[in-house]
Amino acid sequence: MPAQNIQNMTLCALKQGMSEKEFTSLEVIETLLTRISEHGGSLNAFITVTAEQAITEAKNADKLMAVGKNKPLLGLPLAHKDLFCTDGILTSCASKMLHNFIPPYDASVVKNLKASGAIMLGKTNMDEFAMGSSNETSYYGSVKNPWNLELSPGGSSGGSASAVAACLVPAATGTDTGGSIRQPAALTGITGIKPTYGRVSRFGMIAFASSLDQGGVFARSVEDAALLLGEMAGFDENDSTSVDVPVPDYLGSINQSIKGLKIGLVRQYFDAGLDDNNAKAVREALEVLEDQGAEIIEIDLPNIELSVPTYYVVASAECSSNLSRYDGVRFGYRAENYKDLNEFYCKTRGEGFGAEVKRRIMTGTYVLSAGYYDAYYLKAQKVRQLISQDFKNAFSKVDLIAGPTTPSPAFALGAKMDDPIEMYLNDIYTIGANLAGLPGMSIPCGFVNDLPVGLQLVGKHFGEESLLQCGHRYQQKTDWHTRVPERFK
């Protein structure tokens, strides 16, 4: 197969092509590194490109394949969001605070994928410390949406989403604290899955909000997402929140029928805040699933409208605690020209953190302070339990829950930066799954004004298998996930 077609291939197609000796891993890696060199600047999707290391690993992969040795991801390329620690390679969290941080170890996600033979092409841009919904808070500048360079790709994992959507890399890791995989996947027209909290290890994943953060993947197809998730998931004794539950063969079971599957359609999602054309695309997607035997049932999540304020109290409180370690003493940025230790701390944090991170630290510190803890943080945790119970009640009637991923297609860069509340509301449909620790996935389901929109599917705890089966069935009957922005074909 001609090298110029490699860029448009899925992971599974690349794997098959290499096994049939149509091309080598080295040809794949060199083709994509050339694309990153040509288009990476216009998108600002990468913070670090690891070209030399990738080429060396590709040559080694080809040698292994030549003697019949194989691994599930041997020789396949991907990128990592720049908050997964990578041994000997800059891990900045897109912050000035960590602009010089070189970890001495790999995150478990990185380690697992590397052990399966995957080759990292680089580290992707993101919102600073994963705080943002537009990828505009990065110390390294905004990421652009491949469908329109004046629009946001979403956040916080916008660099990973943009790189996959523009065919710079076939897959990438991301993290999802309140929608940071699903929202950018929807806005860039690709597949993104956040597994159940505890399914994927958080060890070596730089923390934003510890009870909400979860690693996941971006890919061009549900099939690719199943391949990757199967290799990165699993119990990790280094992570106290990791759950010791067997990982199914996601890829092997992906072709199962969805006949009789009960899908709940949330009434509260179709409110005045949802773009009419987005709503139409979602309903049409559900008709495709109905045609394959799924049953659509309207359901209620009575407390879901409280998810945004609940999330921003809980997440900000945990962020305030987690980011207290960045004081300039042990690692990262440190201020100069200070007169005492207190001024050193203040200047280091004042200069090292961006505006959005400071806003959330201050909010979190406030809600945890004496006199306000009960009124805000404790109450938010109680509401969180009500939201979780709503999902539990819904899942007593249905197998999956469906709805829009975002209220509208991609918005202009800069459009919401002056209004944090409006920015936060962009995650209104995704936050509930994080508060309840449920798996969620976004898949492309149409276009509005030449911009992609996403269908969100949410499953029961450790129900990723059903999500992947349903999403794969949809993609077998549609071609939305195969569309590529014209300038990146």
Task: Supply 88's token pair.
Answer: 């000997």
- Contact between 286 and 266 (Cβ < 8 Å): no
Task: Supply 472's token pair.
Answer: 């794969």
Q: Which of 92, 180, 307, 466 is catalytic?
A: 180
**Rounded to whole angstroms, how far apart are CA atoms 159 and 115?**
24
* CA angle centred on 34, ends 29 and 36, rounded to 5°: 95
**Rounded to whole angstroms, how far apart are CA atoms 274 and 163?**
27
Query: Would you report the helix, strand and coil content of the chain in percent, each value rounded to 5?
Result: 45, 15, 40
Distance of CA 255 to the CA centre of its chain: 24
For residue 156, indicate whether it is catalytic: yes
What residues have CB less than 8 Å from 450, skipping those under 6 apart? 147, 148
Helix (H, G, I), strand (E, B) or coil at 70: coil
Helix (H, G, I), strand (E, B) or coil at 464: helix
Task: Supply 394's token pair.
Answer: 């819904």
**Rounded to whole angstroms, how far apart are CA atoms 337 and 343?**
9
User: What are the strands of the beta sheet with 77-81, ordered from one edge?
Assistant: 46-49, 119-124, 77-81, 171-175, 215-219, 191-194, 440-448, 451-459, 400-404, 262-266, 295-299
Q: Which of 142, 156, 157, 307 is catalytic?
A: 156
For residue 25, indicate whether it is catalytic: no
For residue 180, indicate whether it is catalytic: yes
Task: Supply 423's token pair.
Answer: 């920015």
- Contact between 58 and 78 (Cβ < 8 Å): no
What are the helix and strand counts (H, E) for the chain?
15, 11
Please name which of 289, 225, 224, 282 lies closest in space to residue 445, comparing C-alpha atoms: 282
Residues labelled catalytic: 81, 156, 180
